[in-house]
Structures are given as structure tokens and as C-alpha cells.
Amino acid sequence: MKTTVIGYPRIGSHRELKFAEQKYFKQTVSADELAQTASVLRQENRGTVSGAGIDQLPSNDFSYYDTTLDTAFLLNIVPKRYKDLNLSSLDEYFAEARGYQGDKGDVTALSMKKWFNTNYHYIVPEFDDDTDIKLVGTKVFDEFKEAKNAGITTRPVLVGPYTLLKLSAYKGSKRPADFAATLVKAMMPYSVNWLT
């Protein structure tokens, strides 16, 4: 018999992530400093969970904003209007989450919905007929490696392909099933490369 948890809170036991992001949005801390805060929070969580004697730890349950958005972002499911802003990857991610109004353009945020029957909200990924699903991100791997370097083999977590398709919005003529083959293809190298 083993023990595990499906995911752990990520905001920080004193909401450190919230305060760090607010500072980042006001440009009083850099992307690197924000990343450093996030890394410390993940480290603290690993310490708490493994310290309590839990056998298997998840990873990639951390997020700057939302894990559904993270999975979409990892797989290049990013509408053109955000890419056209030509922002850094992190700022493009935040533009999807919060909207962007600045010298690079003016776009509203992606839609946000209640996560099932909870008071948590997820960002609704948006597909259109030009959506080119492919593995472009590294977050899930980076966070696995970070834990591995700290001596813990974690169980990476992603929103599964089915739930991802079911929760997304479709702006073009293509339907969820039309994306199934490319989505599988994008997720396969990930599972293949993971271990071999």
C-alpha cells in the first residue's frame, strides 16, 4: 500500500505566489525573480508532502495561473491574437489569462469558467481552424527535473486530452474530434520520450 495526493495547493502558505505575481505585473520584480519564488514554493511543498510520509508526489500541479491553461500552452493551443503581440513566452501566457493592454496591442483575456462544481476557475483554451497542436513548452519536464534534482521522482500531472478537448471553446468550424489525431500525436512524443 502506498499514499499519494492528486495535487497540492500552490499559492504559498502565506500567498507568496500572489504577491510575487502582483509585483511582476507592476514590474517591480523580474521574470527570473518570479521564477525563483515559484521554485522555492515548489520546494517547500515537496518538503511538506514528502516530510509527512506521502510515498508518491505529483509535479506540474504548480501553475502561475491555471493548470488547464498550462496544458494548452504546452501544446501550442494559443490563439493568433496573443501570438501577434510578440511578447515573451511568460507574458504571452499572462496575456491569455488576464488580457493585455500596452504598447504591443490590446486584447481581452480568454474566457474563464468554474472548474466543475468548485469555486476555482479555469481558463478556457480556445481552438480555431488554424490551431496547430504541437509540443512546444517545457514546464512539465522542467518541474519534473527540478524535483528529480532534489532527489524526488514525481508523478507529472497534465490535464488529459479528453478533458482538455471537452473544456475548450471552438471558434472555427472544426469540432473536438477533428483535433483528436493531432492532439494524440503531440502528447505521444511526450510519453515516449519520458522514459526511454
Segment 107-146, which members bind another protein (CB under 8 A)?
A: 108-109, 111-114, 116-121, 141, 144-145
Minimum CB distance to another protein smaller for 13 or for 36: 13
| Axis crossing angle, helix 139-149 with helix 67-74, rounded to the nearest 10 | 110
Backbone angles phi, psi at 122, to 5 degrees: -110, 155
Least gap, CB of 143 to another protein (angstroms): 11
Stretch that binds another protein, among 32-40, 74-82, 84-92, 183-191 (CB under 8 A): 183-191
Least gap, CB of 191 to another protein (angstroms): 6
Say if residues 124 and 166 touch (Cβ distance below 8 Å): no
Q: Label residue 54 exposed, middle or buried (CB < 10 Å: 0-12, 13-18, 19+).
A: middle
Segment 20-79, which members bind another protein (CB under 8 A)?
A: 21-22, 48-49, 52-56, 58, 61, 64-66
Could you say which of 23, 81, 104, 155 contacts another protein (CB under 8 A)?
Answer: 155
User: How far is Cα 159 from Cα 63, in angstroms, rounded to an integer?
Assistant: 12
Contacts with another protein by CB under 8 A: the residue count is 80
User: How far is Cα 82 from Cα 79, in angstroms, rounded to an integer?
Assistant: 6
